[in-house]
Chain A
């Protein structure tokens, strides 16, 4: 086997002292992180955040711009968030804070899990079987344009209790995003792969298991990330309209009870939790699709 062919990845291997001809994924990840730190990117990021937060601080507390008169200032929010004895009752030291986070996250988890469990198989079949798509897709598309929140009154009528309607809403939005992206993923698989598998003697269900499912995986994970974002969107809406506990509820009541800094705390928390859930899915996807991560990493090198 010609040395030049493997020398490139061997180069990385040698640098790390690995002896089996294959670079570990962890090593590749560290390598990419090191490259990132050496670039100007972290410093630009710092500048960006400083500008943003700096402007907020100056506008409210130093220049006291009229438009920002009632806005809570950066220092107020931060000190409230980190204080052991918060004026309005919510900070990282308060148990209630984590209760709200937990309630919201739990709702997301249930809805998202259901949406994935139903949406992915449905999407796979919609993409795989033309017949199935002909029957099911029109009904699917019929209900899709109705925005999640428009379902709220109907959901309250249909389902008993106060938790189920909220979870149903979140489920619906998440489900559509997942199913649609999965279907798209299946349809985007290069037909050559399917043909090659047929040539090699794979039966239909084998093609489904070995070609369709792994081939659609990248799209499925993109869909899942979108789906989680949409889930949060619907959940917050649902919580603001009808619910007790949860981050949406916190933001809503903070407004009515004139606890302005808590609004910002709620928003920031939402942002963080939303980001974390999205990142978790992305990392799961990267792990499950090793072949892609490695390909992309090596591509960056070149």
Chain B
């Protein structure tokens, strides 16, 4: 069966399959409950405990439609995305070599890993004040915190991946006369790639969470603690909507962040698949 036939066979069987329709049904039911819940005050005379306060899906949909047409909204999205990518790439740039070094040299690992493990439980956001004191600009401090978020995940995954490379690959390469550099390039790097992809996909989710949090804190937060200079971004947008009392905008903002986060993960996963063709089903 040719490759394109296989693919269309898969897609068509997926759409026709029960998987798809049951999922759709569930989502529709969920939306209906949400709609009823948020209108409960009007419909039943009393508001349901939590859902009653939430804006209805229909209102949110209208709001999204309106927002899509506003350039300032897209600008916020751009700002957030840029911050995510900056922090994320910095984390990859520093994290991957560090992880590889730790996996390759037992001594280096013995020295650095304990310190690493001690710093890791500290949530990235707890670093925000220290980062602000240290870095000259607000933007840089947010970037640093974002970097931290993804950094730990990536390093852990790289170490795990490198350690799980079958030692026989090394032995085979050596017996064929490979230099250390060759081994690094042809065995370690490809062997670690799947773990890097996993670490990256998880890491970018964390990065989004940190960026949104940082934006919210710098825009709002108790007593506007971080100063309002650097602002904007979707996190700030949500906080602002709350302060301004526009609840539908809050939910609209949440959905956009969710969508953006999901897309970045999906893109990363796709890139990962392209980079590691040998993992695809044979």
A interface residues (Cβ-Cβ under 8 A, vs B): 40-41, 43-45, 47-49, 51-52, 67-68, 70-71, 131, 134-139, 142-154, 156-159, 229, 232-233, 235-237, 240-243, 247-249, 251-256, 260, 263-264, 266-268, 270-275, 278
Query: Are A150 and B50 in touch, CB under 8 angstroms?
Result: no
Interface string of B209-240 (1 = CB under 8 A from A): 10011001100111101000000000100110
Query: Are B53 and A149 in touch, CB under 8 angstroms?
Result: no
Given known A-B contacts A44-B107, A156-B242, A263 and B122 have beta carbons under 8 A apart: no
Complex Cα gap A67–B253 (Å): 37
Which residue on chain B has the smallest CB distance to residue A39? B110
Closest 9 CB pairs of A and B: A44-B110, A274-B121, A153-B242, A138-B23, A255-B129, A147-B209, A145-B258, A134-B22, A48-B111
Complex Cα gap A267–B131 (Å): 12
Interface centre among B18, B23, B117 (most CB of A within 10 A): B23
Complex Cα gap A232–B209 (Å): 13
Query: How far apart are B142's CB and chain A's nearest CB, in angstroms?
Result: 14
Given known A-B contacts A237-B123, A255-B132, A271-B122, A135 and B25 have beta carbons under 8 A apart: yes
Query: Are B225 and A52 in touch, CB under 8 angstroms?
Result: no
Interface centre among A70, A71, A137, A233 (most CB of B within 10 A): A233
Which residue on chain B has the smallest CB distance to residue A256? B225
Complex Cα gap A251–B27 (Å): 41
With beta carbons under 8 angstroms apart, the residue of A49, A137, A143, A229 that contacts B114 is A49
Complex Cα gap A255–B107 (Å): 38
Does B89 belong to the interface (CB within 8 Å)? Answer: no
Query: Are A233 and B209 in touch, CB under 8 angstroms?
Result: yes
Query: How far apart are A161's CB and chain B's nearest CB, in angstroms?
Result: 12
Query: Are B110 and A237 in touch, CB under 8 angstroms?
Result: no
Given known A-B contacts A49-B115, A146-B258, A252-B225, A233 and B125 have beta carbons under 8 A apart: yes
Given known A-B contacts A263-B129, A271-B121, A44 and B53 have beta carbons under 8 A apart: no
Give 18 A-B pairs besides A138-B24, A275-B118 with Cβ atoms closer than 8 angstroms: A44-B110, A44-B114, A49-B118, A51-B111, A135-B25, A139-B30, A146-B254, A147-B205, A149-B212, A154-B250, A241-B217, A249-B222, A255-B128, A255-B129, A266-B126, A267-B130, A272-B121, A274-B123
Query: How far apart are B125's CB and chain A's nearest CB, in angstroms?
Result: 5
Given known A-B contacts A154-B54, A275-B118, A241 and B220 have beta carbons under 8 A apart: yes
Query: With a CB–CB cut-off of 8 A, which chain B residues contact A251?
Result: 126, 128-129
Query: With a CB–CB cut-off of 8 A, which chain B residues contact A44?
Result: 107, 109-111, 114
Query: How far apart are B30's CB and chain A's nearest CB, in angstroms?
Result: 5
Complex Cα gap A237–B222 (Å): 12
Task: List B residues 1-25 near A (Cβ within 8 Å).
Answer: 18-19, 22-25
Query: With a CB–CB cut-off of 8 A, which chain A residues contact B19?
Result: 134
Query: With a CB–CB cut-off of 8 A, which chain B residues contact A237?
Result: 123, 125, 213, 217
Complex Cα gap A106–B232 (Å): 34
Task: List B residues 96-120 near A (Cβ within 8 Å).
Answer: 107, 109-115, 117-119
Interface centre among A51, A154, A235 (most CB of B within 10 A): A154
Which residue on chain A has the smallest CB distance to residue B112? A48
Query: With a CB–CB cut-off of 8 A, which chain A residues contact B222?
Result: 240-243, 249, 252-253, 256
Does B241 belong to the interface (CB within 8 Å)? Answer: yes
Complex Cα gap A298–B134 (Å): 48
